[in-house]
Amino acid sequence: MEKFIDNLSPMDLMRSEKMSLVQLIIPVESAHRAVSYLGELGLLQFRDLNAEKSPFQRTFVNQVKRCGEMSRKLRFFKDQIIKAGLLSSIHPVVEPDVELEELEMQLAEHEHELIEMNSNSEKLRQTYNELLEFKMVLIKAGSFLVSNNNQAVAEEWELSENVYSSDRYVEASSLLEQQMRTADQSGLRFISGIIFQSKALRFERMLFRATRGNMLFNQAPAGEEIMDPLSAEMVKKTVFVVFFSGEQARTKILKICEAFGANCYPVPDDFSKQRQITREILSRLSELETTLDAGIRHQNKALTSIGYHLTQWMSMVRREKAIYDTLNMLNFDVTKKCLVGEGWCPVFAKAKVQEALQRATFDSNSQVGSIFHVMDAVESPPTYFRTNHFTNAYQEIVDAYGIARYQEANPAVYTVVTFPFLFAVMFGDWGHGICLLLGALVLIARESRLSTQKLGSFMEMLFGGRYVLLLMSLFSIYCGLIYNEFFSVPFHIFGGSAYKCRDATCSDAHSAGLIKFRDPYPFGVDPSWRGSRSELPFLNSLKMKMSILLGVAQMNLGIILSYFNARFFHSSLDIRYQFVPQMIFLNSLFGYLSLLIIIKWCIGSQADLYHVMIYMFLSPTDDLGENELFWGQRPLQIVLLLLALVAVPWMLFPKPFILKKLHSERFQGRNYGMLVSSEFDPDVEPDSAWEHHEEFNFSEVFVHQMIHSIEFVLGAVSNTASYLRLWALSLAHSELSTVFYEKVLLLAWGYDNVVIRLIGLAVFAFATAFILLMMETLSAFLHALRLHWVEFQNKFYHGDGYKFKPFSFALITEDGD
Amino acid sequence: MYGFEAMTFNIHGGYLEAIVRGHRAGLLTAADYNNLCQCETLDDIKMHLSATEYGPYLQNEPSPLHTTTIVEKCTLKLVDEYKHMLCQATEPLSTFLEYITYGHMIDNVVLIVTGTLHERDVQELLEKCHPLGMFDSIATLAVAQNMRELYRLVLVDTPLAPYFSECITSEDLDDMNIEIMRNTLYKAYLEDFYKFCQKLGGATAEIMSDLLAFEADRRAVNITINSIGTELTRDDRRKLYSNFGLLYPYGHEELAVCEDIDQVCPCCDGKISSLPINFLQTILRREPDA
């Protein structure tokens, strides 16, 4: 038997990859290239040898800083490209990689160019905005003034801060100032300008307060939106004209204008002058517009040319940064000519790593080759499973509970099948199964497209679990066929029902029942059960028993896996004093129950299994009476009960005492503690962590063992009961779908009204999609998850390892920096 | 409801409490400060901060950094977090959060008014203001010539308005009465905040009364030290002390008559055990040159 087990061909996923701690000694001149080749290979996890140094005390800090600076420039380019509304990654040009220094220079050049262009266009834009605002003020304020002129008010215009210095305006202003002085006696002046619409109300209030109400405020919304130079957004502005009197009021109003960011523009009183200025402004505006357009075209061209390379540059800079970050983990050796690195590497990849190192030496024309050798490891190596598209999701399910200890049995191997199956037991309906299958198939068919694009968190989850979804749907179609449910409707797929009415009228079908007239229905549940009075008792008993059978089988598998673990780590102690009593305890109680269930199914007995199980404990010697299923059941029960009772102290006491004895024998009379500790290789017995400690704490070990035993004994009962959730959820699912089918769809169909029927159909479709397909899937998923994590894995799985994280360019993601 | 306040706490405060606890994890640790001490250039500091929660705020700064940029960006983080919390907060937490900013507001008002008095550029002054204490019409402060105008034009719209009732005079602004205004405002603000916290009761009152009492005492000592040797009369000085805190009322009487700096320490002896005496000594050492 043991030979047979040893000769089994090794399963890929069962044990994590064998790891070895390796040391690399790389000459400085080829270090960069070597690390970059290793990054492409992606099979070596570097250990940080400078953990005590802060990031800026490390060797290659300057290069890291430069990379940071470069990625900042690249982000700036990206922002600019997005701001300009160009698409960056449409035609990524793949060019041979340029040198880092060259790239740095290029980037600096581009940045300089862009900043200059930006500042130029900003200046132009500002002038343009001012002119545009002036134009609006002229148009809007002009109309106020004209209407005021008609009332024959001697009006006065006020020249305020004239922002642009065109000669003509200076001239005009001096001319007009004279006018102003003459009209000063009338005392009424005005200031016109433009302000953000959002600030206009507060502005008016402030003006009112400052002048104590001695002013008149006119406003009109500006026709066009103006670009805000800071945020490059279009904002609405309001043109205003304030009439007031007095010099003090003027300074106050100007100060307030300044505080509110309102731009003041002079509007000439004279209508003809107004028109003249407007004309000039319009001509200047069109000039500026062409200049601006040319500038934008130029800028866009520059940005597009950058955009071609942007993706490549970004990934290159990211790689360089990763390389230098890794180089920072290495140590200089004594001569300062070599870098020394340590790392974990799977045994199968050693040759590849060596090859990469050689290639690096060769390519960089180094005189000295790199040295690669295996070291002894004290700590436990990382856990690495080579998964593929299909198994990855299942491995993730297991990893979410805990990363496997190095080389321990991996539950993911069994999870691939048991997880979707247990899900399907709870979700058995082949109609719903087909819906899920379609969804899964869509995800799988678009795999290549979806895997490249960014998805939302929910879609990401769904996409990551597409193969889980596929198997879940296939199994639920299978279970649905067994339960004979299609959206809760039974079908006669595998022939006719085995039952028929007692007479032609079928009047007593619900009172006296049907009679069986031919062989049982060949596959699954007979469709005649649907709607009968005994439907629920029958299905409940079936599903309950099935749940217990599945549960006992899965828990036995878990315990058997603990046997494989013990064998693998050569710990016969665990086999003899843990595996054997556990097996006996579980199977003498619940294994026996399963046996009874199967016998009852086979011989069609009426025996009450609850009664049998309960009185097996309460009064094992009593006669079973009509509940006896087979000859010799009573003595067998007594034997099983005794076995179970013996198994408890068996798993509790011997192990800690034997451990104590072993320990005291091993360390008897030994004084050379240091030598002793190096005597046994930790690789042989990584499981026995206590051996690394010098002292052996018996009480601790004993308490630990006690907790474990009690947990197992109590857990055997509660875990078996826990598997009844398979029945409970399956019941809930079928009842819910029955309710939606009968109380919504059939009820609505009873009416002879198209609208009601459509509403009924819609409600049914929504309920099916959201409650049955989404909520129920989630809940069945979670319960299946719990059954695996708690009931299955606690029998053997330690899950206290850590994951293998190789240095790999493929893993450096977009948001990595 | 006292004693049962935790029962319904999560309805309004759960999310924000989680946020605040999260922020605590983002604080720089002693190890971080040790590392920062070893930095040689500003780039080193940026590099170290990039590994902390300040990273995203500094990562887009071009390389020749200035200390002001670092401070500005790190303050921006605080402000962003504060704004986020204010958006999420419900009554009375939102009022409480707003109360926190009033102190900055008072400082900003004083900064602008003093700056205008010395004919500085308003825009330049605005950049120096603490972003938490900004309000809409802050730039208009420059228009005001005296206290009455200051109040009537600008501050009447701000939450500071009720605190101003003590100091409305038609006097022209000068350094001295601006400083008095600051302290009067602070006094009114602290007393109002204290009352508000007491009204809330519970843990808020417990914790905040200690903190505010400390602040009130600190200001009292500060005012005393700064006013020694000025023309401020004892009664005026007495008026600037907040009417709560551990020094109130007897300590205030003693502080009010202090004539030189050595008399300050004995005034506080025995009354403020919670105010560490070495802290007081630190103030004493620092204040004269401030």
> pLDDT tens, A717-731?
999 999 999 999 999
- Convert A271-282 to b/e letters by CB count within 10 Å (16 or more is b): eeebeebeeebe
Residue with tokens 């279970």: A479
What is the model's pLDDT at position A777?
A: 93
Please report the sign of the dihedral spanned by the C-alpha atoms of residue A157, residue A158, residue A161, residue A164. positive
Residues of chain A whose pLDDT is less than 70? Answer: 1-2, 5-6, 8-10, 87-98, 145-187, 228-232, 668-695, 813-817
Q: How far is CA A342 from the centre of its chain?
A: 31
DSSP-H helix ranges across A328-426: 350-363, 389-401, 412-426
d(CA A199, CA B190): 32
List CB contacts of B174: < 8 A, sequence separation 6 or more: B117
Please name the residue of chain B whose CA is at the shortest distance from the CA of residue A257.
Answer: B140
Token duo for residue A194: 């433009």
DSSP-H helix ranges across chain B: 9-26, 30-37, 42-49, 55-58, 67-88, 93-117, 122-128, 147-149, 175-200, 202-227, 234-240, 250-256, 264-268, 277-286
CA distances from A657 to A37, A661, A662, B35 (A): 53, 6, 9, 51
What is the model's pLDDT at position B275?
A: 53
Token duo for residue A331: 């140590």
Q: What is the dihedral of CA B267, B269, B272, B277, to 10 degrees?
A: 110
d(CA A308, CA A94): 9
Q: Cβ(A565)–Cβ(A796) under 8 Å?
A: yes
The CATH number of domain A124-147+187-283, selected from 3.30.200.20, 3.60.21.10, 3.30.70.120, 3.10.520.10: 3.30.70.120
Q: How far is CA A105 from the centre of its chain?
A: 38
DSSP, collapsed to helix, strand or coil, labels residue A440 as helix
Spell out which residues of chain B touch residue A66, defining contact as CB-CB under 8 Å: none
d(CA A675, CA A671): 9
Each domain of chain A, given as residue ranges in start order, spans: 124-147+187-283
Q: Cβ(A683)–Cβ(A377) under 8 Å?
A: yes
d(CA A122, CA A99): 34
Please name the residue of chain B whose CA is at the shortest distance from the CA of residue A202.
Answer: B137
The partner residue sitting opposite B60, judged by closest CB among A57, A72, A258, is A72
Write down the mean pLDDT value for chain B: 80
- Judge: B47–A61 Cβ closer than 8 Å, yes or no: yes
Token duo for residue A163: 């922002």
d(CA A288, CA A21): 68
d(CA A318, CA A814): 9
Q: Give the global pTM.
A: 0.72
Spell out which residues of chain A touch residue B153, defining contact as CB-CB under 8 Å: 206, 209-210
List CB contacts of A243: < 8 A, sequence separation 6 or more: A188, A189, A190, A215, A216, A217, A218
DSSP, collapsed to helix, strand or coil, labels residue A218 as strand
Tell whether B170 is within 8 A of chain A (Cβ): no
Please name the residue of chain A whose CA is at the shortest distance from the CA of residue B58.
Answer: A72
Judging by beta carbons within 10 Å of its beta carbon (0-12, 13-18, 19+), is residue A568 exposed, middle or buried? middle
Q: Beta strand pairing status for A45-46 and A338-346?
A: antiparallel
The stretch B87-104 carries a mean pLDDT of 88
d(CA A804, CA A252): 71
- Judge: A68–B59 Cβ closer than 8 Å, yes or no: yes
Helix (H) or strand (E) holding A731: helix A725-739
Tell whether B56 is within 8 A of chain A (Cβ): no
How far off is chain A from B263, nearest CA to CA, in Å?
Answer: 46
d(CA A130, CA A80): 24
- Axis crossing angle, helix A535-568 with helix A725-739, rounded to the nearest 10: 140
Closest CA to A546 of A495, A603, A593, A604: A593
What is the model's pLDDT at position A566?
A: 92
What is the model's pLDDT at position B233?
A: 78
Q: Beta strand pairing status for A226-227 and A234-235?
A: antiparallel
pLDDT in tens, B5-52: 678 888 888 898 899 898 888 888 888 888 888 888 888 888 888 878
- Judge: B43–A65 Cβ closer than 8 Å, yes or no: yes
Q: How many Å is the Cα radius of gyration of chain B?
A: 21
What is the model's pLDDT at position A401?
A: 92
More confident residue, A684 or B256: B256
Tell whether B161 is within 8 A of chain A (Cβ): no
DSSP state of A575: I
How far off is chain A from B133, nearest CA to CA, in Å?
Answer: 17
CA distances from A84 to A80, A99, A235, A303 (A): 6, 29, 18, 8
pLDDT in tens, B156-167: 778 888 888 766
For A38-106, give the DSSP string.
HHHHT--EE--TTTTS-GGGSTTHHHHHHHHHHHHHHHHHHHHHHHTT--SSSS----PPPPHHHHHHH
DSSP, collapsed to helix, strand or coil, labels residue A226 as strand
* Tally of CB atoms within 10 A around A339: 24
